[in-house]
Structure formats: C-alpha cells, structure tokens
Chain A
C-alpha cells in the first residue's frame, strides 16, 4: 500500500471476562483499509467480526494491539479525545428495529448526529435532515414520523442517513442487509454502493453472506474464532481460496442455482467455544487436512501472491498437502 491507510489495525486482541478462561473474541488481528476501500469481514458466529467493528469505533476497549485512524493511534484514547473519530467513523447496524430509538422522531434521530458535532442548527438543520433523507431515497416529509411507521428497509435507510450526517470517511456496516428480505436487501446494497461512490466512503463490511461480501467489497478477510484465516482481494479469496476454511465456507453456502453442484465437501462438528479455542491452528479440529503439526503452532499469515495472504501450514493450491492426507 503506497497511500497512507485510513485505518490500520495491528495485533488487535479482545478478551471478554477474566482469566483463566476469558472469551477470546479477537486474537492478534491485523489489517488495513485504504481511503475509499471496502474491506469485508466474513465469518460465522464466534469469529469476532462484530467485535472488531466495535473495537475500531472504540465502543469497547481493546485488550491489546493498536488501532490507527489516519495515522493516529486511537486504541487507548479516553472518550473525551475521540471527537474526531466519532466524526470520521460511523456505524450501520444489523437490526433495523433496535437500532432506532422508538420514542424519537426521524428528525431527532438524524438531528442528534448534527447536534453532537454542532454541524447545523435552526432552519439549516432541517434542510440538512431533508437532504440526508433524500440522499438515502426517503421523502423529506417523513422526518416527523416515528420509526414504527416505516418498513425494515426504510428504517435501514434512516440508519444510513444518521451515519452519513457527520460526513464520515469510514463506515462500519455490521450485517446491514442480513435482517432484510431479499428484494429489500438488493435495494439497500445498491444504495450503499451508490453512496460509497458518491462520497468516497471506505467501509468495513461485516457479513456472513459470501455472495453479498463478494459483491460489495474490494478485499475480504475471512475470520474463524477471532483470527484471520485468509485475506486478499475479493476475487482471489472468492475464486481462488487458499485456506481450507475459506474453501469449506464457500462450499457450504448454498447456491441459488439448481444446476450447481450440490454441497459435497462438508465440515463436520461444531464451531469450538471461544472460551476454549483449540491449540495451534484454531481450525484444526474441523479441518479436513489437519495434521499433528497443526496442533503445535499457530500458523502465521503467509503470502500467496500480491497481497493475498492465508494462515495455513499447507498451501492447497500448490499441492502442499500433508503427507498423511
């Protein structure tokens, strides 16, 4: 990366609860997001993808590691000194119902963002709210309504308008379309694509849906039990996966095509508890090619080609198969 990254995360770790058995939600995660870039975080439950989003926004405190926003380390700053981050990084939530205060009118939900940073007041404030609503495809006249008067997709638009109100550079989108119906999901995906282009937004796009991530993102990071398994361009990760977990995840996602090959290779067993992750490679207990070696060392991310990296002792693409398998 030649340009200064907008967001650079280094060795980020978050443990919930106390020793000896903390929940290891995020473990030694590093990545960066360039201005205007969309990085997808993909994983199943317990992967730590949502925790990473909240850590980056400093809604929770990291156990260790650094988070640099525009070069400045914000990982340990007290809340009072986070004004700039609050202005530059915003969040869009999964649940369109719980993410809007049911007792406030849309005007106040969006206006609160303007007030918090003294961006507009009086008639200018109303104008700005109207403008934001129109930006997300809602009539300005709806600003005096309450959230319950809107459908799920419309509420999600309101949540997006609230995030846009402070003109952020980065948006953490936590499963923003997962709770929506397919037809509405498509509307919101297209809206987010438009806004991204129009405002040059960078995004951390958190999702469990590989199809959505592949469509939305420039690069993808695949997480399992709090660690990055594979990271690279969306194309590389989705069409030339190098990590056995990424392959399994792709194989397990049902394709909406009756002619596509049915799911054959399947992972057995359950996702282990993040309170007691396996030693060595966390994926080894379900991995089809795991060996004894995998229990001993945590595999480091290694480069495939370009900036495509994966954390596995064996490179399936180069037939680096374990002798036993």
Chain B
C-alpha cells in the first residue's frame, strides 16, 4: 500500500542523539518508516525502544539543546504538494506546520491542556492562530469540534475547565484540539494508555471514525499489542532504537519475521500455552534491553542468535511492503 501511494510522512534512517551526564547516547539509530494518507501506522515497542523520541522528533519537540537529529531525514508532504525535511526545517516554519498540518495527541491530557483556560478558549485560540478566524466564529468552531468528538452538551461544556472533566473527556478535548485545523497527519503517542478499557474503546473508535471522515494519516505510538491489532493498517516494530520489522497488521501478527516480533507476541498472556504439568505458561524473553554493542541489538536475548549476529551492522532488508532487520530471518521457522 505504502510503496505505491506517495507517502505523507517518510522517515529515512533517522538518528537522534542526546547529550547526557555520561556522554552522548543515541536513543534512535536507524528508524525508517512511512505513513500514507488515510492509513494508520502503529509504531510498537517497549520502553527504551525509542518510539516516543521518534514521534517527538517529527513534531520538532525534542528537548533542546540536549537532543538533536544527527542523521537521516523526516520527509513530510505538505498540503501544497511540496515535500519538506522536518529535521532540517527552521523552527519557525515547523511551528507553522505544527497544529495546522501535523497534530499530536499525548498520553496525559491533563498536562497538555492549560488549566487556567476553558477548553473552548483553548480550541478557539488554536483555530484563530492557524485558520485566521475571528473571535466569535472561532468559539463557534470550538463548539463544533467538541460535538465532533462526541462530547455531550458541547454548548455547555465548551465553557468548562480541564479539571472539571474526566480523563476520557479530556482526551476527547485533546483530540478536538488536534482536529480543529484539519491536519493531514495525526501523531498519537500512547493516547489511551492512561485510560480505563471501556473508555479506551471509545477513544479508539473515535480516532478511527475521524480518520475515515477526514482522511488523515495516523502515526499511532503504543506498547499495547491489543490496541495495535484493533486500529493499525500497518505496523512498525522497534527495538533498542531501531526499526526491526515493518509489515501489514495481518502479516506482523500471523507471520512475524523478526525473532523479536515473534517473541513479543508470544509474551501475551492470551497466547499462554499449557505446559507438561498442565499449567498455562507464557513465553518470555529472557533479560532486558542491555548495553548496545556491535551487531544485532536483540542478539543477546535471541534464541536464534549465532556468532555472525554479534558482529557488524545488520541492515534493514526491504522486500515489497515488508522490511526486517535480521540476518537469519529466512532460515528461522515462523
């Protein structure tokens, strides 16, 4: 799908470096992914995989001056048809795109909303800024937006403050804020992680509905494989700062090629198998993400690893719509 349609967002071999007390680290060192218009790409990974840093870099929100893009490109196709490299764009130009063409929804809506402004004022402010509407029509638009995200009694609630709302309602407000300028790309960074399951189901359904109606591309960052199966068209799996596999949601879940993807899926409690003693046991991945050395980053925890896995750089192999970063994927039984 993505190869034939020109991408909306195309990240190529991205590398991000951070200065820390203990010297420079590279939490992202080899991310290649693309999002086509109207599709949802789920970016999956555990903590330390670099998925959130990747999403922040697209929005130009890396903490300055400690973090910077040190390699690769973040190509974004603007509404005008022009393609720009977000990594090289001056901050002022990026600000113009942010909120207007690229919108973002975070995990914790409370910290992303201004506590001293009503939700209506916040949406209206963004609309005024990006669409140049007047005060009254901006507020009217805010009301429409709350209606769009299915907040009941939008006319009344437009005057409420964030703290008067529940977590689920605040996340709806965040989405309304993101949608208020018709973005062509939505970056959703763990938007349902802090929510209860019944509320999560509502928010996922809302994002899907809006995507269909507006036709935007969605980069959905999550660690929850259930959520991935629910909403993604395609999936990119990250491990230790690198993309290890990309494919359609069906391919990733049914025939994973990278040993990490496979092992991760088998860690799910729903995939527990009965052992010889009749107990149900989940497979686990031994150890944890350790120090990154030479060779494949997953090799120290991989059951299929052989000597060659520990040396040199392992490249991301792309074939049709699938990519995998593993020396042995052809030999390993799925």
Contacts and interface: CB of A to CB of B under 8 A. Distances in A.
Is B a genuine binding partner of A? yes
Interface of A: 44-45, 151-154, 181-187, 189-190, 193, 197, 208-209, 211-212, 214-215, 248-249, 251-260, 262-263, 266-268, 270-271, 286
Given A185-B267, A248-B198, A252-B201, 13 more contacts: A182-B46, A182-B268, A186-B285, A189-B284, A190-B284, A211-B268, A215-B280, A253-B197, A256-B226, A257-B253, A258-B253, A267-B198, A271-B166
A244 to B, nearest CB: 12
B222 to A, nearest CB: 10
A251 B222 CA distance: 20
B196 A256 contact: no
A262 B228 CA distance: 12
B22 to A, nearest CB: 14
16 contacts: A151-B288, A152-B47, A181-B47, A182-B223, A184-B284, A197-B279, A208-B197, A249-B198, A253-B226, A255-B229, A255-B230, A256-B229, A258-B250, A262-B230, A270-B166, A271-B198
Interface in B229-281: 229-230, 232, 249-250, 253-254, 263-265, 267-272, 279-281
Interface of B is mostly: helix
Interface of B: 46-47, 166, 168-169, 196-202, 204-205, 223-230, 232, 249-250, 253-254, 263-265, 267-272, 279-286, 288
Contacts of B225: 182, 256
Given A44-B197, A197-B279, A248-B198, A189 B269 contact: yes
A252 B166 contact: no
A49 B46 CA distance: 27
Contact of B227 (A182, A254, A267): A254
Contacts of B200: 252, 254
A183 B264 contact: yes
Between B198, B204, B223, B227, the greatest number of chain A beta carbons within 10 A of the residue's beta carbon is seen for: B198
Contacts of A251: 201
Given A151-B288, A181-B46, A252-B198, A215 B253 contact: no
B204 A215 contact: no
B173 to A, nearest CB: 13
Nearest to B201: A252
A209 B227 CA distance: 13
A274 to B, nearest CB: 12
Contacts of A190: 281-282, 284
Contact of A45 (B196, B226, B227, B230): B196
A256 B268 contact: yes
A267 B225 CA distance: 22
A152 B287 CA distance: 11
B160 to A, nearest CB: 14
Nearest to A211: B269
B288 A256 contact: no
Contact of B269 (A45, A212, A252, A262): A212
B205 A256 contact: no
B270 A256 contact: yes
A259 B143 CA distance: 37
Given A182-B267, A215-B272, A248-B198, A258 B249 contact: yes
